[in-house]
Structure 1
Amino acid sequence: MMWIVLVPLLGAIVLGGLYLFSLHVRPVSRKIFFAIGVATPWMSFVMSLWVLKTFLEQQAPVVYEAYTWLHVGDFHIRMGFMGDTLSLFMALFITFIGGLIHVYAGGYMAKDAGFGKFFAFFNLFLASMLVLVLASSPVVMFIGWEGVGICSYALIGYYHQKRANVEAGNKAFLANRVGDFGFIVGLCTLFVMIGSAGFDYASLEENIHLVESGTLHFIGAMLFIGAMGKSAQLPLHVWLPDAMAGPTPVSALIHAATMVTAGVYMVARLGFLYDLIPSVGLWIAYIGAGSSLFAALVATRQSDIKKILAYSTMSQLGYMFVAVGIGSYGAGLFHVFTHAFFKALLFLGAGAVIVALGHQQNIFKMGGLRTRLPLVYGLMLVGTLALCGIFPLAGFFSKDAILIAAFDQGHYGLWALGVAVAGVTAFYMFRLFFLVFEGSPATEEPLHVVPVSMRWPMVVLAFGAVGAGWIGVPEALGGENWIGRWFGGEVHLSHAVEYALMAGNAVAVLGGIGLAYWKFKQGFSNAPSVRGNAFYLDTLVTWGIVRPLQWVSAWIAKVADNRGIDGTIMRVCWGAVRLGQRAQILQNGNVRAYAFAILAGVGAVSLYMLGVL
């Protein structure tokens, strides 16, 4: 099982070495970079299938311990990997969708000078996410957790020639460090409480009841702060829109197969902990619901096609946290799965539009692409309908599963917020769709060719956006809900109530689509360009946190450090220098002065011994 992780990791190392070789020795063909970069995720996918087969045959987790990483007294931390229902479920769609995005990236980045470097980081990104989901302990998971963080920093700021892109990478890195501080505090507290009994997931689940309730609440809250950073939930979401500075394949990989789903996975993996602290779980659910509504409202005011999709991801992640927060892990993971397909499709479709228009990203400068890019039009329509939750596409089943679970458990406020967000989602997504594809073109310039390697991965993802939801069809619709069987999430509502809830959600979605049709069907001609402000949260963070920290740092540097610490040290140093300058008369290099001093000294000693002095 270790090879699932090692193959893309070795791919990253080989690609990095070949890139350096091509820079300093002799150019390497891009076909070689592409072949290695694309092969590794598919190899990991095949090996994940093989481990799944082994898991099903032995009906027990497949565990592999590579070596002992840390050995202190009776305590061991092993570099181990575990294949169970949850980890293999994640690994399979991460490698499958990651593989498609790698193929797409070959066409998107074809003319980039750093082609080999890009694929090295891309492989490392995938390897880090696989470490995160296949780890057998939270310590090993944290290695992958930080790995996806450093890869996102490198890839978001990939076009480092522009200062704004570098700042976007820095913003993502720093915002996640805030969250990771909370994660480390929670992890260390958990270790202190029961680490001596073992620190893999099995040992933690067996001994978690030994932790006092108040401490357990603290641990759960701290761990979720890390998830707020990785999965872009309020208030640590500020990095996500700026992350669109990276190449579009990077955006797709971050939002569909890696990084942002890490927080949801972490809560589900530690479900045995969160089940004991339902009040923290409810706090998680309401943060998710608030983040979902906030992001959806902000998306209605954006003009950058990728930022609209970025806020959409934040909103859909909010749905996932609602589910895992109330303990419905099956519904949350189901939405992680379906979302990966249609969100990857939407980002890759957006990338195709951007390439065709010569890297234009403003939706108010597009329009009329329905007849000029008919394939992309059809695929984007499928992705948009799936995201909105239109029956029978994938998003319908997973989103309704979350809303029904919230209603079933009596969380009517969460249910109402979810339905409202569904309506807003339909509005902003069809606003994007109509402005991009309907009306008259904003420009009559010839379109750039979209390579075949960018087109067929979108076709495959479209099939997923249509059919991925069928593994979780509820019993009310005649299905067997395999997701519910794997991860739990039994619903106790009558079929009639489920039908009513589905109908209510459908009305909200159709209302959002109707409003978008009424306002934007004619394209941009009747829609003035707007500038989204994201409720000025960036401004609030800048003036409420960043600027005060800068002022405090400046005071520490100029006053406390220069005048206090450095000033004290320098005063002591200059005092020593001045003392030395005064004392140097005793060693002036004059032999006659030395002889006189010796005679004077001997004389003084002699007089003292004779009793004269």
Structure 2
Amino acid sequence: MNILILTMFFPLLSFCLLSVSQGKWIETISASIGLVGIGMSTLITFYFVCGFCHHTCSYDSFILTQELGSWFKIDNKLSVDIVLRLDGLSLVMLSVITGIGFIIHIYAIWYMSGYEGYARFFAYTNLFIFNMILLVLSDNLLLVYFGWEGVGLCSYLLIGFYYTDYNSVMKAFKSFIMTRFGDIFLICALFMIYNQYCTLSISALLKLDSQNLLKNDMSMWISIALLVGCIAKSAQFPLQSWLISAMVGPTPVSALIHAATMVTSGVYLINRMHSFFLVTPFILYIISMIGIVTAVIFASSALFQSNIKKILAYSTISQIGYMFLALGEKNWDGAMYHLMTHACFKALLFLAAGSLVRACNNEQNIFKMGSLYKSMPFIYICFLIGGASLSGFPIITSGFYSKELILMSMFDHNNYWFLCFSFIGVFLTAVYMFRMIFIIFHGNVFIQPKMSYKICQYLPLVILLLLSTCIGSKLQLCLLNSMSGNNYHEFSYNKVYVIITSEILVLCGIWLAYLLWFSSGSKIRHMIIARRPIELMNRYLILLNYYGWGLDWFYKIIFIKPYLFVAKKLFSYNDIVESGINIFILFLNWLSRCLICISNGKLNWYIASIGISSVMILLICFMSL
């Protein structure tokens, strides 16, 4: 029996049960229901992973399908069947969604305890997991879009989880609007695909050869529409600012949705629909350009942030930029490999940050923390391993293997400009990550943390800590053991200096962060910014980076202010229209009262009315002669 449908059934069942409870059950029952729903999906996914690892076929030929019936039919022209498809690509995403989701749910049992809406939180997260699984397993693009929209809705609900806070509600609204912009382009892409190929089945579309795609003049527009939808969902330049605003949600939400799963759905969709991009090489080049610009400029933005969650948010944007860069280089497996490693070490960093913020009385400003390595040694180790993996520290971290695969792919394709800018991003990543670590754990003491020792808090951190090392990289590589054309372990001598250059830049970045932000770094920083021209340059550069390169200001000028201006004018015009409508309503009321007076039931009044009407009709007739 094919049990693929059960991966979605259990999270949906948990959502329904928690919704029915209306928060009246105790926290233990609510947490158990939420955890069991994700846990069962994780076990089923593990079953499929084991089957894949023992499969005799190659990575590309591993396909399982389950037909659940027909959704709807329209005049035998449009037929949407509910079919689930599990192949190598969707198995990778399913492993990340359920595996990381289960770990984060364990952590959330401790983190969300005592907060209002405890059951509501687990209901939202289970609904999110359901929609995310629907997105990656559906064999029909319309069902993919259904899951895509469901993921956006759950993101809105979870970002605005603290709905009594006006700032959280507005940030949730901003995120919802910006992602809807991309969703409009995605649905347009679906319309064009069906118009040209008369099907929305992914299996049927994947069977189309390049000649059939090239014959179609709409391939370019389909690729552009798909790309815009993926850029908005994956928070890439220039539609990335919603992800920074999303950090107002609970920390488990940031770890689950805005680091490991939802923001990577754009990477998955480009990979899934890669046949359309292969016939439009110019769009692939644009994907690479967007990826490298995002990776570099938002790594520099992270360097000037003081909020710990914003630093991690900018790092997420930057790392997904590397995934887009790999996709533009046709390095599909390299992008998915980095997606997997990134999900582990970024979830580790977010959960460790949540423990840190909770211990420091919800303080998120890194400059108001300091010298915490003695009081929080395990959290310090988590930050060191997570930060080293994010930076690509050699040999011992999983991020090293996935990031080097992307860099070597650019070297193989002779894209030296992209490679040089990638080196800049590698250097900046090491600087901003260890800047944060040194300030938090080796700076001046400002706060005394209140420690907590709960199994639900530390067990997820231990698991993610192991997955962020080289041990995790080997486990994740099992799912990509047939990467076509990417013989990663077969290094050639002409690639050695690429790896050496990258790792030298990582070590230089850590060393620079040590000089500037370790305990004695304040003197060196003062010496650097003492000169007036450098001080002025630093001032404007810092402001530009701190505010995300001014994109929010740009959107405010171009979109928000004109919209508000038009709305105010329409509001004034609405007053005039409303007055006219009110006058017309008064006239109708007066007319109805006159008719009521005429229809009073008195015979003499009716005779008089008939007589008057007859005289008036005769007068009109005589006047017309």
Secondary structure of the corresponding residue to residue 370 of structure 1? coil
CA distance, structure 2, for counterparts of residue 322 and residue 493 of structure 1 = 22
Find the counterpart in structure 1 of residue 65 from structure 2.
63
Q: CA, structure 1 residues 449+574, in 2 after alignment: closer, same or farther (shift >3 Å)?
A: same
CA distance, structure 2, for counterparts of residue 309 and residue 51 of structure 1 = 32
* C-alpha displacement of 1:237: 0.8
Root-mean-square deviation over aligned CA pairs = 3.0
Find the counterpart in structure 2 of residue 25 from structure 1.
none
**Counterpart mapping for 1:105-116 below 5 A:** 105-116=108-119
Q: Kindly provide the amino acid, as one letter, of the partner of residue 436 in structure 1.
A: I
Secondary structure of the corresponding residue to residue 444 of structure 2? coil
Find the counterpart in structure 2 of residue 341 from structure 1.
344
2:221 maps to 1:249: no
CA distance, structure 2, for counterparts of residue 295 and residue 359 of structure 1 = 25
Q: CA, structure 1 residues 525+598, in 2 after alignment: closer, same or farther (shift >3 Å)?
A: same
Secondary structure of the corresponding residue to residue 68 of structure 2? strand
Deviation per residue, 1:459-488 (Å, 9 max, x gap): 111111002323688xxxxxxx97372465
CA distance, structure 2, for counterparts of residue 533 and residue 450 of structure 1 = 37
Q: Is the 8 A contact 1:331 1:483 kept in 2?
A: no
2:426 maps to 1:414: no
Q: Is the 8 A contact 1:367 1:524 kept in 2?
A: no
**Counterpart mapping for 1:20-39 below 5 A:** 20=23, 22=24, 28-39=25-36
CA distance, structure 2, for counterparts of residue 439 and residue 60 of structure 1 = 52
CA distance, structure 2, for counterparts of residue 603 and residue 119 of structure 1 = 80
Find the counterpart in structure 2 of residue 504 from structure 1.
501
Q: Kindly provide the amino acid, as one letter, of the partner of residue 598 in structure 1.
A: I
Q: CA, structure 1 residues 592+535, in 2 after alignment: closer, same or farther (shift >3 Å)?
A: same
Secondary structure of the corresponding residue to residue 115 of structure 2? coil
Q: CA, structure 1 residues 73+206, in 2 after alignment: closer, same or farther (shift >3 Å)?
A: farther
* C-alpha displacement of 1:89: 1.5
Q: CA, structure 1 residues 592+408, in 2 after alignment: closer, same or farther (shift >3 Å)?
A: same
CA distance, structure 2, for counterparts of residue 608 and residue 562 of structure 1 = 42
CA distance, structure 1, for counterparts of residue 617 and residue 227 of structure 2 = 80
2:339 maps to 1:322: no
Q: Is the 8 A contact 2:515 2:521 kept in 1?
A: no
Deviation per residue, 1:493-533 (Å, 9 max, x gap): 97122111111111222221121111101189667998722
Q: Is the 8 A contact 2:348 2:465 kept in 1?
A: yes
Find the counterpart in structure 1 of residue 206 from structure 2.
205
Q: CA, structure 1 residues 47+572, in 2 after alignment: closer, same or farther (shift >3 Å)?
A: same
Q: CA, structure 1 residues 298+450, in 2 after alignment: closer, same or farther (shift >3 Å)?
A: farther
Q: CA, structure 1 residues 446+51, in 2 after alignment: closer, same or farther (shift >3 Å)?
A: closer
Secondary structure of the corresponding residue to residue 485 of structure 1? coil
CA distance, structure 1, for counterparts of residue 387 and residue 293 of structure 2 = 22
* C-alpha displacement of 1:563: 3.9
Q: Is the 8 A contact 1:68 1:77 kept in 2?
A: yes
CA distance, structure 1, for counterparts of residue 187 and residue 620 of structure 2 = 72
2:544 maps to 1:540: no
Q: CA, structure 1 residues 314+78, in 2 after alignment: closer, same or farther (shift >3 Å)?
A: same
Determine which of 607, 610, 613 is the counterpart of 1:595: 607
Find the counterpart in structure 2 of residue 478 from structure 1.
none
Secondary structure of the corresponding residue to residue 511 of structure 1? helix
**Counterpart mapping for 1:514-525 below 5 A:** 514-522=511-519
Q: Is the 8 A contact 1:93 1:337 kept in 2?
A: yes
Secondary structure of the corresponding residue to residue 390 of structure 1? coil
* C-alpha displacement of 1:70: 1.7
CA distance, structure 2, for counterparts of residue 186 and residue 598 of structure 1 = 68
Find the counterpart in structure 2 of residue 553 from structure 1.
567
CA distance, structure 1, for counterparts of residue 551 and residue 619 of structure 2 = 87
Find the counterpart in structure 2 of residue 429 from structure 1.
433
Find the counterpart in structure 1 of residue 534 from structure 2.
none
Secondary structure of the corresponding residue to residue 76 of structure 1? strand
- Compute the TM-score of the two structures, normalised by the length of structure 1: 0.90
Q: Kindly provide the amino acid, as one letter, of the partner of residue 41 in structure 1.
A: I
2:131 maps to 1:128: yes
2:162 maps to 1:159: yes
Q: Is the 8 A contact 1:438 1:523 kept in 2?
A: no
Unaligned runs of 5+ in 2: 527-538
Q: Is the 8 A contact 2:104 2:460 kept in 1?
A: yes
Q: Kindly provide the amino acid, as one letter, of the partner of residue 544 in structure 1.
A: I
Deviation per residue, 1:109-167 (Å, 9 max, x gap): 11112211111111111111111111112211111111111111111111111100111
Deviation per residue, 1:190-244 (Å, 9 max, x gap): 111112xx32111112236545454111111111111111100111111111111
Find the counterpart in structure 1 of residue 287 from structure 2.
284
**Counterpart mapping for 1:441-590 below 5 A:** 441-443=445-447, 445-466=448-469, 467-470=471-474, 483=480, 485-486=482-483, 489=486, 495-522=492-519, 532-559=546-573, 561-563=574-576
Secondary structure of the corresponding residue to residue 411 of structure 2? helix
**Counterpart mapping for 1:222-233 below 5 A:** 222-233=225-236
* C-alpha displacement of 1:104: 0.5
Deviation per residue, 1:353-400 (Å, 9 max, x gap): 011111111000011111110011111100000000011111111111
